[in-house]
Amino acid sequence: MRILTAILGALFILQSCQDQPRIGPDGDLSAFSYYPIAYELEEPSRFVKMQAFEDNPLTKAGVALGRQLFYDPILSRDSTRSCSSCHLQAFGFSDTMQVSLGIENRKGKRNAIALTNLGYHYTQFFWDGRVASLEEQALIPVEDSLELGNSWEEVEEILRKHPTYPVDFRAAFGIENIAEIDRHLVARALAQFERTFVSADSKFDQVLKGEATLTPAEERGRLIFFDESEVLPSGECAHCHVGPLLTTLTFFNNGLDNTDGALVDVGQESVTGNVFDRGKFKTPSLRNIALTAPYMHDGRFTSLEEVIEQYNKGGHYSKNESPNIRPLGLQDQDKADLIAFLHTLTDTSYLERAELSNPFVH
């Protein structure tokens, strides 16, 4: 009886193997089913609803594919680096380097931007705002010689010949043949995954929902940050780092350097060609700011203390420095309280969310 069961079992396995769809000899994928299922993004009630991305709607298979690609060193020339090498979940999808390291430890030019709530940024990505969409942004690191150092032709070839990716591309985008796998589908999948990077559960979010309370030091820091006290000095921070995203998403010269003369990095001027934009950079979100040191586009400050010191001095004057950057007159206690408040912007659930973690590690 036992032998019979074993034989039947073996036959069954053989049968089901034969039933498995296969990639056709000419790369045909039509044997695999394609049933796109919408990805239901959980959106925080305090956020304005995310715009629909009609040419790249979120699907379960698309987000899953983007997650794999984000973590897969297959995109880099020597299979050593992936998007996640510079955007680490434990550090709010930033890294701990002054400037990021690409393949062969090549030094990049800027500090990695922490990635949060990217689905609510509709344009102007990068410190200088040079790309218009996440789809466009995702094309860049692969061919940046200081980042993944690869060529798209190479990546497309490897993905088409890969044992599992073609089926995943079929599930995500309904392609009929492996030849349709290209850089634009990779970028669309990465963008879908990145739009699920929603972070809205820091202590400060909980306070706004009435679920937590700030300590007296944190509350004093909050009053300074939002200029809400008659007694404490105003920090002016919320002119630029404000709203659920903790950024206006606009560009400012926040006084890091005197921008009237030559600069190592001219920031937004390199995109607009307008000298008035010299030294202006995208205002970063302050979510998870306690974890994303070093700070600023060039990673020049290693601690929040140094950042506050710089703002307190009023930065370096130049013609296009924002008028909200001025000597603040913060005393030691004010600075400490402001930093205590900045620590309440850490969203630990975001750093631990399984759906955003490396799918290759179990």
Question: Which residue in 58, 297, 334, 346 binds ligand HEC (CB under 6 A)?
Answer: 297
246 binds ligand HEC (CB under 6 A): no
Residue 135's CB is within 10 A of a number of other CB atoms, namely 20
**CB 145, min distance to ligand HEC, A:** 10
Question: Position of tokens 């796109």?
Answer: 36
Question: Position of tokens 């601690």?
Answer: 303
**CB 121, min distance to ligand HEC, A:** 6
Site for ligand HEC in 7-66 (CB under 6 A): none
The tokens for 243 are: 């709203």
241 binds ligand HEC (CB under 6 A): yes
Question: Which residue in 59, 98, 100, 259 binds ligand HEC (CB under 6 A)?
Answer: 100
Print the binding letters for residues 147-186 with ligand HEC: x by CB under 6 A, - otherwise. xx--------------------------------------
Q: Which is nearer to ligand HEC, 32 or 298 (by Cβ)?
A: 298
Question: Which residue in 23, 58, 113, 232 binds ligand HEC (CB under 6 A)?
Answer: 113
112 binds ligand HEC (CB under 6 A): yes
Site for ligand HEC in 248-287 (CB under 6 A): 252, 254, 256, 281-284, 286
Interatomic CA distance for residues 140 and 130, integer angstroms: 11
Interatomic CA distance for residues 159 and 190, integer angstroms: 14
Interatomic CA distance for residues 183 and 90, integer angstroms: 28
- End-to-end CA distance of the chain: give it in Å, rounded: 38
Question: Which residue in 91, 126, 152, 226 binds ligand HEC (CB under 6 A)?
Answer: 126
Interatomic CA distance for residues 60 and 335, integer angstroms: 45
**Stretch near ligand HEC under the rule CB under 6 A, chosen from 20-28, 48-56, 133-141, 150-158:** 133-141
* Beta carbons of 292 and 259 less than 8 angstroms apart: no
Interatomic CA distance for residues 191 and 70, integer angstroms: 10
Q: Which is nearer to ligand HEC, 87 or 220 (by Cβ)?
A: 87
CA torsion, ordered 137, 169, 352, 46, to nearest 10 deg: 60
Number of residues that bind ligand HEC (CB under 6 A): 53
The tokens for 118 are: 């990217």
Interatomic CA distance for residues 63 and 69, integer angstroms: 10
Question: Position of tokens 């759906």?
Answer: 355
189 binds ligand HEC (CB under 6 A): no
Of the candidates 168, 176, 200, the residue with the CA atom closest to the CA atom of residue 45: 200
Cis peptide before 294 (omega within 30 of 0): yes
**Stretch near ligand HEC under the rule CB under 6 A, chosen from 27-35, 47-55, 75-83, 169-177:** 75-83
* Beta carbons of 314 and 258 less than 8 angstroms apart: no
Footprint of ligand HEC on this chain (CB under 6 A)?
75, 81, 83, 85-87, 100, 102, 108, 110, 112-115, 118, 121, 125-127, 134, 137-138, 141-142, 147-148, 190, 194, 235-237, 239-241, 252, 254, 256, 281-284, 286, 289, 292, 295-297, 307, 311, 322, 324-325, 338
